[in-house]
Structures are given as structure tokens and as C-alpha cells.
Structure 1
Amino acid sequence: MRRNLIAASILTVILISSIFGLLIRINKRAMAQSISDAPPALINTCLITNDVNRLTDFYAKVLKIRPERTGKDYVEFHTGVGVLAIFSAEAQEKYIPGSARADENHSAILQFKVGDVDQEYARLHDIVQTWVKGPTNQPWGTRSIYFRDPDGNLVDFFTMLNSA
């Protein structure tokens, strides 16, 4: 009787282990499937520059975020939603020749949601050298300021307007 009880216990453990192993394999396949079907997530925007220190100093003041440096060629600003990275043009050319040219962006806008556009405009007045547009209510429901960073990249600080 005792042997039967031990044998039954061993069989139960083997059965449970087999079922558990099967569930793990099924779950791994399901997770791999869901990850491969997921749309890409934009988490990092990288600016290529001829002067990493100048651009880092500018964005440290503008974003009020302490930069995280990896050597002399790469800096990150973790915004809580994504990362703004700054990378040297010299290093970019070394790693991926001919892929990017610094100081030539005229087609992308870095957009940052802020608490109060008018306060930011006043705060940034002595930091920003090139203003494109002062505080303005936009037809798409934001109040924005537009300015250029030292490399000429267009930056938009915006606040959502009340729809009332």
C-alpha cells in the first residue's frame, strides 16, 4: 500500500512537471509571437553633431535634465518617455560611413510636451539664440513655441489647449 502511494506520488509529480513544462513552452511561443507582431516603438532620437559638448550644454539647460555621458562621443537625456541622444559626427562616420551629416536637418521637429509654454518661453529667452515662432495657439489644439538648437534642429515646446 505504501509502495502504491509512493508510486502514485511520483507519477503525480511527473505529470505535473510535464504539464508545467508544456505550459512554459506554449507561453514562450505565445510571447515570441506577440513580440514579433508588436509594432515598432520609438524610444530614442539621436542628433548627429560636430560639437557634442555645445549641444549637450544647450539641451541640459533647455530640458532641465542631467545628461548621461558614455565617453566623449555620446550623451543621452532620459525624458521619461524616450531618450534624446547626441552623437558625434566623427564617430558616426567611423562606425557607419556616409550615413549622416551634422548641421543639415531641415525636415524633422523635436517636440516636447511641457506644463506651461509661456513660462518656458520666458525661461528660455536667454538660452535660445534662434526663435522661429513665439507662443502661439495652433489650429491643431496646442500652444507652442518653436526654436532652433545650436545645430539648427527645430524644437517645439507645446502644451495641449483645453477643448472647451
Structure 2
Amino acid sequence: MTPSTILESALYVTDLVAAEAFYRDVLGLALVGKVEGRHAFFRCGNGILLIFNAEATEVPPAPDAKLPVPPHGSRGPGHLCFSATAEEIERWKAVLTAKGTAVEADFEWPQGGRSIYFRDPSGNSLEFAEPRIWGL
């Protein structure tokens, strides 16, 4: 057996309020759940993007917790890539620039396909790329 798809992906942030505003207002993702000070969850296509306050996820659940999710997390910038067509990448570049988010790299991969890279307010590296960079 092999997994068929990724259901959720997580990024860890230092400023949850700024991150929520960025993913909602700049990237236009729909907020589907949140706990103040701990997390904000967004729908992205058929998956969910989990944005966690890094410090809050390191706290173990109470012994009687209804949802005993084990502690997890990471420190430092993570990376996430969103799938986009060449035309969408061009439009995203304009949207990001108009909303004050710098595009730090824009290039064609040797095997074909374009990527643009930018950062969220916590420094996570985000990318829009054509699926063909992976032969998809």
C-alpha cells in the first residue's frame, strides 16, 4: 500500500494573527477552523493547510483531553508549494506584488516548469509552481 494523497500540511508561525491575515487576505484561502493563540486551519483545494503557533503545539494535551493530539512542531522557516498553471503564476506574481509581498525568486526549472518563491510573515518559504516540475 502507498498513500494516495496528502490530506493536510502544516506550517509553524511566530505570529498567528499576522499569519491568519496573510493566508486569508493575501492568498485568499478560506478559514475552516481556529483556536485563538494555537492554530488557524484553511481549505486549499482538496486539502487543508494547518497554520500553528509553534510554541502552542509543543504543549502536551491534558490527560483528559477530548482530542489527545501529541505535541509536534518545528522551528525556523518551513516550505510549502502550491500548484499553479503558468498563467496563474503570472497572475499570482501581480497579486503578491500589489499586496506588498515580495517575490524573491522567479525561474524556469531545467526539466521544465516555472516557480515563484515568496515568504509569509513568519519567514516560511512559499512557492507557486507548475506541476510539471515534478513530471505531473
Give the TM-score range, shorter chain.
Answer: 0.7 to 0.9
Match of 1:75 in 2: 40
Of structures 1 and 2, the larger Rg is shown by 1
Task: Report if the CA contact (8 A) 1:61-1:127 is conserved.
Answer: no
Report the Cα distance in structure 1 between the residues aligned to 2:100 and 2:9, rounded to whole angstroms. Answer: 21
1:100 matched to 2:73? The reply is yes
| Partner residue of 1:117 out of 78, 89, 92 | 89
| Partner residue of 2:11 out of 47, 65, 81 | 47
After TM superposition, the structure 1 = structure 2 runs for residues 28-67 of structure 1, keeping only pairs within 5 Å, are: 38-40=1-3, 41-67=5-31
Match of 1:23 in 2: none
Report the Cα distance in structure 2 between the residues aligned to 1:132 and 1:140, rounded to whole angstroms. Answer: 21
| Partner residue of 1:90 out of 29, 33, 55 | 55
Aligned-pair identity in percent equals 29
More helix by share: 1
Cα 1:129–1:120 shift into 2, 3 Å: closer
Give the counterpart letter for 1:100 in structure 2. Answer: G
Q: Could you list the per-position Cα deviations for residues 16-65 of structure 1 after superposition, in whole angstroms to 9, with x for gaps in the alignment?
A: xxxxxxxxxxxxxxxxxxxxxx3234211111222111111111133312
Q: Could you list the per-position Cα deviations for residues 67-102 of structure 1 after superposition, in whole angstroms to 9, with x for gaps in the alignment?
A: 1223212211111232111111232121256x5344
Report the Cα distance in structure 2 between the residues aligned to 1:88 and 1:124, rounded to whole angstroms. Answer: 24
Match of 2:66 in 1: none
Aligned pairs, number: 119
Unpaired runs of 5+ in structure 2? 61-69
Please state how far the C-alpha of 1:152 moved relative to its aligned partner.
1.2
Unpaired runs of 5+ in structure 1? 1-37
